[in-house]
Amino acid sequence: MKREPCFRIYLAIILVIILVCLSGCWDSEELNKISIVSGLGWDLDPDTGEVTLTYQSIIPSEIKSTSGMDGGGEQKGGSALRAIQLDQDTGASPYDVLNRFTQHGSRIPFYQHTQVYVFGKDGAQKGIYGFLDTQARNPVSRPNALIVVSEKKASDILGIQDGMENIQAFGMAAEIKLSAQFSKYPAVTRLDFQQRILSKTTAPIAPIVGIAEEISSQGEKVKRLRVMGTAVFKEDRMIGQLNERESSGLLWTINKIKKGFVIIPEASLEIVRAKGEIVPELQGDQIIITIEIDEESNLVEYTGHQDLTSDILQELEKGQAKEIESQVMAAVEKSFALDADVFGFGEAVHRKYKKEWKDLQSRWDEIYPNIEVVVKAKTHLNEIGDVRKALLKD
């Protein structure tokens, strides 16, 4: 009998907790009170130093399903940008502009669905530290949003509708991720970028997106977004860029090759598996870096006129290894010219030679362009298809 009052108290407490949990999320926001920011652009006036932020916000009532697209990925009827709204504000610093936007708008900005941070090229060359610092200190900022550099102004890029996505920033993010998946250019999150800055020796990188004019299926000129290069930074300032071939060489080295193709004379090979490893060696005052790449592929196209004998297959493997090594060395030579350690060679040396690193780190910018680099690619052909005979002979 004595236990009954205690039991009733415990039961009451449990019921109260259940009621609180069922009442909804404590930090939820009403959809009609927030502005969902899908993309955020950053431009810097080189003369005044003023910062302009472009906000790409989602208009929930205007979002259409992909059934509203034609066969070419273009929207039917109405404006192609009706699912998003672009707003701008200018101020002395990124935080100043963020405050202004909050004060001027009728809704509270909601950044949990932001897909891309786009930096205008002119501003990126001046330095993007202010924006990165503001975002790093903002608890609602997305660390996995993609960092993107625009060939022109960020505001220009965020105003181009492309692809099958109604929300442009989602389409841009998807294009960048697909480019990385097929081993063309890197996809870099804000967290990735910040970690490279914090390493002191590893140069930050980011994909470059530009605007290309093409002819639509209806014969009209349309503007398309295209990934066009890899921006290379020294700390927070953009100092140069890698082209497509050099970008692929970078991905081979930093073990970011997922799938894609290697094209050599007489054959196209589909990448099945790839692994890249950086092996440092310290010989006196000389640093030797060996880049070891192990790759497997399938033969998907053969334009030669000889039967696929074991000797021919070995020649194809050698040709593929040579092409991979050439791509890597192209990236190495460009990084030496920029004096920017995009590969993380310094981090690899640090891990292996911790005692010597104390002296090397302070001189890394001087040491880096004089590093000796050796590339060793090992390739293996898995599948060649059912046809071993050449359809046309010499």
How many domains does the structure of the chain reveal? 2
Full pLDDT tens readout for the chain, 394 residues: 455 655 565 555 566 556 555 555 545 556 667 888 999 999 998 888 899 999 999 887 666 544 344 444 444 434 455 678 888 989 898 888 888 777 766 778 888 889 999 999 999 999 999 899 888 888 778 899 999 999 989 999 998 876 667 788 999 999 999 999 999 999 999 999 999 999 989 999 999 999 988 887 788 888 889 999 999 999 999 999 999 999 999 999 999 999 999 999 999 999 999 999 999 999 988 999 999 999 999 999 998 878 889 999 999 999 999 999 999 999 999 999 999 999 999 999 999 999 999 999 999 999 999 999 999 999 999 998 877 776 667 6
Are 228 and 79 in a shared domain? yes
Is 209 within a domain? yes
CATH number, domain containing residue 364: 3.30.300.210
d(CA 159, CA 167): 11
- pLDDT of res. 65: 45
d(CA 173, CA 187): 9
Are 300 and 231 in a shared domain? no
Are 212 and 260 in a shared domain? no
Are 251 and 371 in a shared domain? yes
Which of 242, 269, 296 is the last residue before a domain boundary?
Answer: 242
What separation in angstroms does the CA of 316 have from each of 258, 267, 386?
21, 8, 17
Is 382 within a domain? yes
For the beta carbon of residue 283, count every other beta carbon within 10 angstroms: 8
Are 59 and 84 in contact, with CB atoms under 8 Å apart?
yes
**Residue 290 burial (CB < 10 Å; 0-12/13-18/19+)?**
middle
Are 61 and 141 in a shared domain? yes
Domain coverage including residue 348: 243-394
Instruction: Choose among 106, 86, 88, 103: nearest CA to 50.
Output: 88
Is 365 within a domain? yes
Which of 196, 219, 242 is the last residue before a domain boundary?
Answer: 242
Are 184 and 255 in a shared domain? no
- Which H or E run contains 281? strand 267-283
d(CA 80, CA 70): 12
Are 210 and 128 in a shared domain? yes
* φ/ψ bin of 5: left (φ > 0), alpha (ψ from -120 to 50), beta (otherwise): alpha
Which of 242, 257, 273 is the last residue before a domain boundary?
Answer: 242
- pLDDT of res. 307: 85
- pLDDT of res. 3: 53
Are 67 and 91 in a shared domain? yes
> What are the phi and psi torsion angles at 281 (to 5°)?
-145, 135
d(CA 223, CA 159): 10
Are 145 and 189 in contact, with CB atoms under 8 Å apart?
yes
Are 104 and 183 in a shared domain? yes
* Model confidence, pTM: 0.85
What separation in angstroms does the CA of 9 have from each of 6, 15, 20, 108?
5, 10, 17, 42
- DSSP of 221-272: EEEEEEEEEEEEEETTEEEEEE-HHHHHHHHHHTT---SEEEEETTEEEEEE
